[in-house]
A and B are shown apart, each in its own frame.
Chain A
């Protein structure tokens, strides 16, 4: 269904397997079902953000505002629950808010033509500002017991609910990208938007939906985060922005657009989660953790460009030993 089409994904998969082997050798508690399930729990929130980010990067765009949208969503959910008393309505409103934020980005980018990095740099602060104004900068924690289910609950025994949500959304996004006309157009726009226009593709519409999609993913992520920490706060989600971009690129999505898969992104996200979890178990200090995660990112990106490196080596050998 998802299919490993590109050699990069294979390399990443090997790297990931190696990582798992090393971690389980170093820490006996790593390779247990409970621990692995908790890894998936930890990765779901930023994994869902990364799904939206992946689709955007494929169009050769970028979205720095996903974290702020997540934060704003938490506030909208909490406050509208306060007014209405209905949790379902509150969550729907929260997701609607995320979609609107995405649409706002999309209109500026697709219809007016402002570069995505500028738009979302602005809206990153702007959406966060709305959340701060609405909440007056406070954390809101009067949320009902039922609300905690998606962030803290389990299904089928001990499978975290958010893991299941992430899985479903990942499969859905993957199907959208690989099977639907919209997905085809997303790749076409990212590859060559001029040629897409000349082929009758409504590029502005494609882009608008891409940013709305990312807005909705951010909202769902925000919903899960606030459910896990039992709080709504404007800055929830902010830490995940760069991480979700990094995981996407690690997963093989071309930062210049045109190629990338959800499968790759899921592995990219898993690599980050396994590293964080494993290093914790081994007892590596949080400071050294950052160092190692950055290093891993660089190593994989180097491997990704292995053909260029190989060519350089071949030429070097020819010049010096022939």
Chain B
């Protein structure tokens, strides 16, 4: 029965300056289903979504059907009017407007029926109720946390009578409680016969919420299945084209030398009485719920969050790290959590991003950047980390999420850090690339770097760390040796059970 389909894409191709990001892809979404779109970094998932939501215009020959009717999607607003809404990762709402205004802005109903303010509030409340959440429509959007902002975005989609809501990696910024909440919301949407298309690199999530899955690889359609018909290894094989799984790697050698010692470090409202030591060659994993103070601690060590008390000792002497520049001088590298906002200069090239932190050391005798040397160095690292495509001059903003992350990593590796702090190093990174990044981390440690990995993903923490610190509400509640740790034990400690 064809009328089952709410959206059908056929023969969609998209070429960016000669390179095919999508090659004859098709995608069918049934009414009211939860459809997962999976594939490696750069497979074309985001591009496909952008075509469907009117951000990109597809190459000739593409056919898009909505409710079995052939349509052309002119721009994002047009897509919204046709019932397709996207919840972007960076939310893209208006921070200085109220929740109600955010939900109703751009809604034709408001103009046609000349709604007054109280009717607008009602419309908003109604949409929020449909989501199954409770948010005060009078609040300013900027006063809400990211999870609530996401809910507002979903409510907005509902108020536009969306029949398909698209979410691009929706859980990457959520805590585990918030993720549960989102599952609930997705369930509600399905009951209201609204289809959800979501992109995710997390298999637990895919198997938890999706009813069907479409797999892309290298811009091509590989397969579409009901979720119960593919098991996890099979799904990975379809995505990557081979078998992969997490490998736990042990340290070759941990030196006695303490590269970093943190003593009773506190900052009001962030973290309390934190003490630990990081030795040369060691990888410490820090885990805990989002909001447990992990990133704030990392930023304090990197000079971007001044602690109230306590000391940081590098190679035996207490130091004050007052700025990120100080941190870099001391040999500390920091891969931040939010790579779009904090990690990358999007409109600048891969090469220039990689060398941004070490420009002074690349200077020739005229105090100018030695471009040959710069490019050689950058080339060496993009090969080492297998950044694809291997084009030094490509704008970083045009790389897929996972490859962007590798560029951030490369930026710090070229500084030859003694200490490398990585906040969610593999968020938005596909399974194959994750394992590669894990390998690189272990290699770095074996070469004598002290590494701190912050991650919410327990299998990752277990695979990479030598020692695991568990944080809850700003304090370290437990330190577990890797060999004694299990996921259950860590989770119990993190939750405070």
Chain A residues with CB under 8 Å of chain B are 175, 179-181, 184-185, 187-188, 191-192, 194-202, 258-259, 311, 314-315, 318-319
Contacts and interface: CB of A to CB of B under 8 A. Distances in A.
Contact of B348 (A175, A188, A197, A200): A188
B357 A200 contact: yes
Contacts of B328: 199-200
B342 A195 contact: yes
A200 B327 contact: yes
A188 B57 contact: no
Given A180-B369, A184-B359, A191-B348, A197 B72 contact: no
Given A179-B369, A195-B342, A188 B72 contact: no
Contacts of B366: 179
A31 B359 CA distance: 45
B325 interface: yes
B419 to A, nearest CB: 13
A199 B324 contact: yes
A162 to B, nearest CB: 27
Interface of B: 57, 72, 74, 304, 323-325, 327-328, 334, 336, 341-348, 352, 356-357, 359-360, 362-363, 366-369, 411
Contact of B363 (A181, A200, A258, A311): A181
Contacts, number: 78
Contacts of A187: 345, 348, 352
B342 A198 contact: yes
Nearest to B341: A194
A282 B356 CA distance: 51
Contact of B343 (A198, A202, A318): A198
A31 B493 CA distance: 82
Shortest 9 CB-CB contacts between residues of A and residues of B: A200-B328, A181-B359, A179-B368, A198-B342, A191-B345, A200-B324, A199-B356, A199-B357, A200-B325
A306 B469 CA distance: 54
B369 A196 contact: no
A97 to B, nearest CB: 27
A180 B324 contact: no
B327 A184 contact: no
B218 to A, nearest CB: 26
A196 to B, nearest CB: 7
Please indicate which of the listed interface residues B328, B345, B366 has the most CB atoms of chain A within 10 Å of its own CB. B345
Contacts of A318: 72
A196 B345 contact: yes
Contacts of A314: 57
Given A200-B327, A201-B325, A311-B57, A180 B367 contact: yes
Contact of A199 (B72, B341, B368, B411): B411
A259 B334 CA distance: 26
Question: Interface majority SS on A: helix, strand, loop or mixed?
Answer: helix
B346 A191 contact: yes
B368 to A, nearest CB: 4
Contacts of A181: 359-360, 362-363, 367, 369
Contacts of A197: 304, 324
Given A198-B336, A200-B325, 16 more contacts: A179-B366, A185-B359, A188-B356, A192-B344, A194-B341, A196-B356, A197-B324, A198-B304, A198-B324, A198-B334, A199-B356, A199-B357, A200-B328, A201-B357, A314-B57, A319-B72
B356 A201 contact: yes
A315 B74 contact: yes
Contacts of B72: 315, 318-319
A314 B363 CA distance: 47
Contacts of A202: 323, 325
Nearest to A184: B359
Contact of A195 (B344, B360, B368): B344
A41 B61 CA distance: 56
Given A181-B359, A185-B359, A198-B324, A192 B334 contact: no
A202 B346 CA distance: 19
24 contacts: A179-B366, A181-B362, A181-B367, A184-B356, A184-B359, A187-B352, A188-B345, A188-B352, A188-B356, A191-B347, A192-B346, A195-B342, A195-B343, A195-B345, A197-B324, A198-B324, A198-B336, A199-B324, A200-B325, A201-B356, A201-B357, A258-B347, A311-B57, A319-B72
Contacts of B352: 184, 187-188
B343 A180 contact: no
A286 to B, nearest CB: 40
A175 B366 CA distance: 11
B359 A195 contact: no
A260 to B, nearest CB: 12
A318 B363 CA distance: 52
B339 to A, nearest CB: 9
A195 B342 CA distance: 4
Contacts of A195: 341-345
Nearest to A189: B345
Contacts of B325: 200-202
Contact of B342 (A185, A194, A201, A311): A194
User: Which of A191, A192, A194, A195 has the largest count of B CB atoms less than 10 A from its CB?
Assistant: A195
Contacts of B347: 191, 258-259
Nearest to B374: A184
Of A181, A196, A201, A259, most buried by chain B (CB within 10 Å of CB) is A181
Nearest to A185: B359
Contacts of B360: 181
Contacts of A192: 341, 344-346
B57 A315 contact: yes
Contacts of B363: 181
A195 to B, nearest CB: 5
Contacts of B327: 200
Contacts of A200: 324-325, 327-328, 357
Nearest to A202: B325
Contacts of A175: 368
A68 B359 CA distance: 35
A196 B348 CA distance: 12
A184 B346 contact: no
A200 B336 CA distance: 12
A191, A199, A319: most-surrounded residue (chain B CB, <10 A): A199
A318 B356 CA distance: 44
B422 to A, nearest CB: 13
A197 B369 CA distance: 20
A180 B367 CA distance: 7
A259 B347 CA distance: 9
A319 B71 CA distance: 9
A100 to B, nearest CB: 25
A252 to B, nearest CB: 14
Nearest to B339: A195
Contacts of B344: 192, 195
Between A192, A196, A319, the greatest number of chain B beta carbons within 10 A of the residue's beta carbon is seen for A192
A187 B325 CA distance: 18
A209 to B, nearest CB: 14
A311 B73 CA distance: 12
Contacts of A179: 366, 368-369
Contacts of B362: 181
B295 to A, nearest CB: 12
Contacts of B304: 197-198
B207 to A, nearest CB: 35
